[in-house]
Structure 1
């Protein structure tokens, strides 16, 4: 039975490149996001690049009920990749209240939902890798990307907070601190995908909780 790589918030940049990287290693990719039409296109790209079939599942990462149902559907996930985020280039004065709430819901709360939904099965099996997409805004915030920076700071915080406890139970949680602009199907996206693979492939005695693309 093939190992499962499940991507939450799969897009044409980091999500697609990371799914392709794991598919090349024999993983069965499950791609999730809000837009089913785009997901089907990404699944086709994975198949064309690797020969591996990929599943496309519509998911709103901000809805904990959908995440719980997804975790019940895929009871055994070997690698969970949380890549969901909303990018609004807005200052605090420009931002709408609804945008701020949605940015935090998808960027931070959705990740916590995903961890709560999927981590217990991994910890019970004492096996699994959880990969989170971080960003330089966690370290060098910018006022025009305030909500996104808060989200990335939250990703970094939860990764470091959970790392030691999860490692004791043979589950590796780690994040990639993305410091460069990443465009769809770009070398920068491929670089992040390679770092995700590196984190997954680390021997347990050498596990780290963060890598950076700089």
Structure 2
């Protein structure tokens, strides 16, 4: 059995993705900061007969990410799919003229350093099994910077560049790298905006292995 590791797992999209991949035979590593939350999510999945466990690294601490993914591999099986989708903190979203250099440290550690640490830990295992998928999930500010969300705009741009470079570098190794841009609120009442619908889209990105960047729907004009 191989594993999907979901960094930023919560009861919305994270759980929907976990269920979608678990139905296909994946074990699930639920990765977030709150131990009670990930334990509860893992318990739900186990009640449905799936293999799952929770892990609580700090994505701003690369060593803790490496350790968590190493434990997940040992306890659940090799990581075939890594989803990097932690939810940025509200303090990362300051207006541009109020943003100082110090305000960018957190967002960049969160979205860039964390993503690099997670990918570098997962890629050797994907190479060992001969295939894999890295999925990066971002809001619209990753491709259209917003003046009121400066930290995430800058950090998501860096994460996007890194993911694109990974896509190009790994294309010949049967390791697909994809980015899903979600320009709307998840579970906001629109059927196509539901966690289950987005989970299906991420499953398709894993199986179809198409373009690097996929939009859950077009950005507003």
TM tier, smaller: 0.7 to 0.9
8 Å contact from structure 1 (residues 128, 170) kept in 2 = yes
> What secondary structure does 1:78 align onto?
strand
Structure 1 distance, partners of 2:4, 2:189, is 19
Residue 175 of structure 1 is matched in structure 2 by 179
Which of 192, 202, 209 aligns to 1:196? It is: 202
Structure 1 residues 185 and 166: CA distance shift in structure 2, 3 A: farther
Structure 2 distance, partners of 1:186, 1:52, is 29
**Deviation, structure 1 residue 149:** 1.6
Residue 148 of structure 1 is matched in structure 2 by 152
8 Å contact from structure 2 (residues 6, 84) kept in 1 = yes
8 Å contact from structure 2 (residues 56, 68) kept in 1 = no
Q: Structure 2-normalised TM-score?
A: 0.84
8 Å contact from structure 1 (residues 130, 174) kept in 2 = yes
Residue 207 of structure 1 is matched in structure 2 by 210
After TM superposition, list the pairs within 5 Å mapping 1:37-76 onto structure 2. 37-47=36-46, 50-73=48-71, 74=73, 76=78
**Deviation, structure 1 residue 207:** 2.8
Structure 2 distance, partners of 1:167, 1:124, is 16
Structure 2 distance, partners of 1:96, 1:60, is 23
Deviates more, 1:149-158 or 1:186-195: 186-195
Deviates more, 1:29-38 or 1:78-87: 78-87
Q: Structure 1-normalised TM-score?
A: 0.86
The root-mean-square deviation of aligned C-alpha atoms, in Å, is: 2.4
Runs of 4+ in structure 1 over 4 Å off: 93-99, 183-187
After TM superposition, list the pairs within 5 Å mapping 1:117-136 onto structure 2. 117-136=121-140
Structure 2 distance, partners of 1:116, 1:102, is 20
Aligned residues: 209
Structure 1 distance, partners of 2:4, 2:127, is 17
8 Å contact from structure 2 (residues 180, 214) kept in 1 = yes
Structure 1 distance, partners of 2:51, 2:100, is 40
Structure 2 regions of 5+ residues with no counterpart? none
8 Å contact from structure 1 (residues 13, 185) kept in 2 = no
